Amino acid sequence: MKWPAWPRSLLGQMILSVAVVLLAAQTLSAVLLYRAAEQRRETGAAHALAFKLSTDTRSEHGQAEHGQDSRRSDRDGLKRRWQNLPVEQSADLPMRRGEAADEEREQLLRSILVEQGVSPSDLVVFTRNTRADEFVMKRLRSQHQGRSLPDWANGKIIVAGLKRPGDMEWSVARVPLPGPEVGTLGGLISQTLILYFALVGGLALLLRRITRPLAALTNRLEYFAHTPEAHGQLEPDGPEDTRRLIAAHNAMEARIAALLDEKDVMLGAIGHDLKTPLAALRVRIESVEDDTERSRMARTIEDITRTLDDILSLARVGRPSDDPEATDLAALTASIVEEFEDMGEAVTLDEISRIVGSVRATWLRRGLRNLVSNALRYGGGQARVSLLREDGAAVFRVEDDGPGIPEHELGAMLEPFRRGEASRNRETGGAGLGLTLARAIADQHGGELHLANRLGADGAVKGLSAEIRLPL
């Protein structure tokens, strides 16, 4: 059996909590009311038996007094359905073989009789099917000739036998076994439904008013996380605490947006101010006569330019200016492989699936190029690219045959300026921003970048697998 899921919203959890507590309280109340009603019925039946047994039913005066008191007790809640059952005098023990004495009812009846001044010498109380009691059935048939018997004749009766000190015979009284009061259960159900509609319904309206601003604030936070723009801020609404929270969030948003704008202006200025002298320097080194020295200077300038481009790209990736568009991801992957093949690189296209996704194609191309470039640079000069559909996500996988990365350094390799080798020699690679930029691009699309070593059958590392997983 699968249990229903716990509500994930604050409104749902609070309403469900109140409903569960209310149900528990109503259940406890119902149990207590039922037990109280049972006790009332048992006490009423015991008083009826005590009244019958304490009345002298062996005289006409006793019969008349019994009838009057029965009618009087009827007004007190004792029903007429048993008032015509007189007390039977029997020389034998009224309880038959197979019938068991009811000790609780016997103790209750004894205490009532003692209070009424009757000291039982012997007392026995038990239950019996009404139709199995010949005395009752004979009486009913004589009273209901040609008519159907009352409903209680199909149930059970409580039989009490009393022998006073000095008596030679048993006085036997009978009353129907009390059943549940009509309408008790229905009343409890009606009361519970009214409470649920009044309390839970009213609480739901109140909580909705309280949680609506929180839900709007959550949506605003999710929007701001993807597009950090300060416009469209929420108006403070709801209780005072919620209003203060929204106002504080609006101030924080404005401050973050201002910082991001300042960062973009600063990086733009840095890019402009650095690229211009680098371009001039690139022209000036042409006058250097030593070819080897000139080549080294040119490679240094190009390396600085690429690093600067990566830094500016990493700064801009969090605030893209273009919107996602439906793109054939298989064609995009194949085109990247073709670019490297045209450059004479050992890049092959492995398994590929036809997938269409909403992406920023320019940025995604940049991320995949970085993964392939890293695989070629550190993975033995070969790379295999594949596109798969797994668990509702598009998986771009780049594999190489290099030495891999130590397990304890896999997470650190995604940090800026971290490289897969201890040396900082520029001859073997860039500034260590390729994986960081690829991860930022994956985050931009709501996905993730995952690195893992490929293991062979003997458990040895056979290379590295880099995956960009984008939800579809």
Task: Return the bridge partners of 469, or none.
Answer: 395, 448
Domain count, the chain: 3
Strand pairing of 170-176 and 156-163? antiparallel
Q: Is the pTM of this model over 0.85?
A: no
Answer with the one of 290, 316, 342 that is the final residue of a domain.
316
Band of residue 180 on the pLDDT scale cut at 50, 70, 90: low
The predicted structure's pLDDT at residue 185: 64
Which among 258, 292, 316 is the end of a domain? 316
369, 462: one domain: yes
| Mean pLDDT score, 367-378 | 88
Tokens of residue 147, six digits: 């008519």
Distance of alpha carbon 39 from alpha carbon 34, whole angstroms: 9
- 30 and 130 within one domain: yes
Contacts with 378 (C-beta within 8 Å, 6 or more apart), sequence order: 400, 402, 403, 420, 421, 429, 464
Q: 173 and 113, same structural domain?
A: yes
343 and 294 in a common domain? no
- Across the range 42-47, mean pLDDT stands at 89
> Are 447 and 360 members of one domain?
yes
User: Rounded distance, CA 138 to CA 131, Å?
Assistant: 10
DSSP conformation class of 417: T
Q: Are residues 265 and 364 in the same domain?
A: no
* Separation between Cα atoms, residue 353 and residue 291, nearest integer Å: 48
Positive or negative, the Cα torsion across 148, 151, 155, 157?
negative
Do residues 281 and 146 share a domain?
no
Q: Same structural domain for residues 256 and 403?
A: no
Q: How far apart are CA 417 and CA 414, in angstroms?
A: 9
Asked, for residue 217, whether it belongs to a domain, the answer is no
User: pLDDT at position 66, please?
Assistant: 40
Q: By three-state DSSP, how is residue 98 classified?
A: coil
Write out pLDDT tens, residues 414-434.
Answer: 776 665 554 444 445 555 677
Asked if residue 4 has pLDDT above 50, the reply is yes
**Is the same domain home to 303 and 389?**
no
| Nearest by Cα to 156 from 233, 102, 119 | 102
Asked if the structure places residue 222 within a domain, the reply is no
Q: Looking at 317-347, list the stretches that DSSP marks H as alpha helix, in order from N- to C-terminal side.
A: 329-342
**Domain stops at, among 285, 316, 347:** 316
Q: Give 261-320 pLDDT, tens digit per residue.
A: 787 777 777 777 777 777 788 788 888 778 888 888 888 888 777 777 777 776 666 666
Q: Are residues 243 and 270 in the same domain?
A: yes
Residue 189 lies in a domain: no
HSE, side-chain direction, 13 A CA sphere, residue 160: 32
Please indicate, yes or no, whether residues 264 and 394 belong to a single structural domain of this protein.
no
pLDDT at 463 over 60: yes
Range of the domain at 122: 10-184
Are 451 and 466 in contact by the 8 Å Cβ rule? The answer is: yes
> Are residue 175 and residue 245 in the same domain, yes or no?
no
In a domain, residue 395? The reply is: yes
